[in-house]
Structure 1
């Protein structure tokens, strides 16, 4: 059954849907708004963004669809909604109270976190509740830090979500095509997906170990967490990134402009495009939960 915007809006009547994660999940969020907007009269919808929180309102349905920027889910040095960079990431090892106060009361929660864990072997952890993000720092292997944070998220879900009234989902890793591998080069100039004949033998760059950690932690949750597995299907879409058509933090230098491959964005996706397919999967999990194992 194809995505039905009217059905989604009716399901969300009087409810709050919240996406929590990084810029890849924000792309899925924006995709969902695009899929829904034609079913809502212009006078009956609004959008606002304040700091890390973006809110879309479907007024006739008394519904909100929101996005909260928390790229590592735990509190981190990259939590500013506009000024955030991958380098020098520090996360707080204490409970995630700063973020989770925005999550309370959501009827549908959609989490993701992967990309920001994959730029280096170690993650810096700030211990304790001190506001100074520059002291009492220890290093932890990325996989184990990821496990620690996902355990915290699950613990929060178990204490704050009533599965009779709310749904929780986790979107798996959005792959990049930034370098090498069997795709050959990066995504620049790619105009077609990995061919069907090559798909079985093609292996992307996504960390299987990180996917395993997420699967293990989420499966142990006492509150069901629906896993929206976007990873493999997206790995095959090396052609679907924004490449050189994304607004950059800064204008490309002359040497970059002479070699577009050097600054092509092979992480984020074009809209409409791959994130629309992610929302198709989410739609099926929302409306046909009994078929979860088949998706």
Structure 2
């Protein structure tokens, strides 16, 4: 009888002890998963032989220097003394190009310079060498593993579409034909689906980021181009759920005219339109985009990048060439150490980008590709592209009149943009 009484007295104590142990176990499991998940991510990539950059993965928010934010995907940190955007171009025929044009079926004929008859290939053999440090080698296996179950999205115009095509060329070789599908759209979403990774790499056509009257009609007269103020959600609905987003918008703003900014709707019978210069209109688009990011993207799981302007090479006199020349027939990069790269950039636009990103309440990683790209006057498609419309006899008689000094051959310069993206993603 006494033994039964003692056992009955012990039951509540045992129950309390069990509940306490369960509570601690649950609490510990949450602590473990939160505190050590970066460690497991580093362990996951340890066998991939990646860069020896320090495994910190922290970045200060611009405008809030006292706070550090652990960035998703980060497994290391670029040394503070290493500015990956400052350096020089070096010939490296052993490691470049990173893929062959003929090996990538996704490159559009407007960018397949060798297929379109370009006689030289030296533009493919240049590698970007930062001063005082090395870029980590682009690791396609590592990138694919990081994208498992995720979406990588490029947003903007045809220039960032080139970067998108470069990225899928860098990755697709590791995925068997049965493990991927590609759906192309001219003015909407282009998607490479990686079935075995449950991942997608996507491009969304949005040349102004805001809704515009050239979203479906890029041939609209320059003076008639109109952006819709307050319309960021028109395109933004396609960006939801992305884990890595790369924004870029520039060349469509440079019309030489003031831009029309619509305050109401394109369907309004009487439209309220304000005429703004490029900088003022660009600032509206930047503010709207960053506001959308803050409202819709979780900085604990999503990385947001903004790419600086892609330079053009329309006037060869700027690098010591003929007064009436451009990038046509150029086969070497600009090598003059005194060359002012800002001649091919729009500094006031760059200032707007810097000012608005500095105000962002979420981390934005800035890819400053302008300076390093300004040296690459030879890397454009020039006349070695499939034309959008038949060339006239007058054009054929004067090739430089239709040389494209805006877009870039693939493989080529834009592969370097993705090497920089790779570095900032994993080693911010």
Find the aligned partners of 1:98 and 1:148 in 2 and give their Cα distance: 15
Which residue number in structure 2 is paired with residue 204 of structure 1? 343
Which residue number in structure 1 is paired with residue 96 of structure 2? none
Structure 1 residue 23 corresponds to structure 2 residue 158: yes
How do 1:101-250 residues align onto structure 2 when only pairs under 5 Å count? Answer: 101-132=237-268, 135-183=271-319, 184=321, 185-195=325-335, 197-250=336-389
How do 1:53-72 residues align onto structure 2 when only pairs under 5 Å count? Answer: 53-72=189-208
Find the aligned partners of 1:70 and 1:105 in 2 and give their Cα distance: 17
Find the aligned partners of 1:89 and 1:205 in 2 and give their Cα distance: 23
How do 1:74-113 residues align onto structure 2 when only pairs under 5 Å count? Answer: 74-80=210-216, 83-85=217-219, 87=222, 88-113=224-249
**What does the per-residue CA deviation read over 1:198-223, in whole Å, with 9 as the maximum and x for residues that have no partner?**
35445432101100101110121111
Of 242-251 and 268-277, the range deviating more from structure 2: 242-251
CA positional deviation for 1:155: 0.5
Contact 1:77–1:133 (Cα < 8 Å) also in 2? no
Which residue number in structure 1 is paired with residue 392 of structure 2? 253
Q: Which protein is bigger by CA-based radius of gyration? A: 2
CA positional deviation for 1:226: 0.3
CA positional deviation for 1:49: 2.3
**What does the per-residue CA deviation read over 1:114-169, in whole Å, with 9 as the maximum and x for residues that have no partner?**
00011114111111134259832220111011001100001000111110011000
Q: Could you say if the C-alpha distance between residues 12 and 202 of structure 1 is closer, same or farther in structure 2, counting changes exceeding 3 Å?
A: closer
Structure with larger RCO (C-alpha < 8 A, sep 6+): 2
CA positional deviation for 1:85: 2.6
Question: What secondary structure sits across from 1:284 in the alignment?
Answer: helix
Find the aligned partners of 2:214 and 2:317 in 1 and give their Cα distance: 29
TM-score, normalised relative to structure 1: 0.93
Equivalenced residue count is 286
Q: Could you say if the C-alpha distance between residues 222 and 133 of structure 1 is closer, same or farther in structure 2, counting changes exceeding 3 Å?
A: farther
Of 160-169 and 248-257, the range deviating more from structure 2: 248-257
Question: What secondary structure sits across from 1:38 in the alignment?
Answer: helix
**What does the per-residue CA deviation read over 1:226-257, in whole Å, with 9 as the maximum and x for residues that have no partner?**
00110001100000000111222211111110
Question: What secondary structure sits across from 2:353 in the alignment?
Answer: helix
Q: Which runs of 5+ in 1 are unaligned?
A: 290-295
Over the aligned positions, Cα root-mean-square deviation in angstroms equals 1.5
Which residue number in structure 1 is paired with residue 173 of structure 2? 38
Question: What secondary structure sits across from 2:169 in the alignment?
Answer: helix
Of 226-235 and 45-54, the range deviating more from structure 2: 45-54
Find the aligned partners of 1:239 and 1:269 in 2 and give their Cα distance: 9
CA positional deviation for 1:180: 4.3
Of 65-74 and 112-121, the range deviating more from structure 2: 112-121
Contact 1:181–1:205 (Cα < 8 Å) also in 2? no
Contact 1:92–1:128 (Cα < 8 Å) also in 2? yes
TM-score, normalised relative to structure 2: 0.65
Q: Could you say if the C-alpha distance between residues 253 and 214 of structure 1 is closer, same or farther in structure 2, counting changes exceeding 3 Å?
A: same
Contact 1:2–1:280 (Cα < 8 Å) also in 2? yes
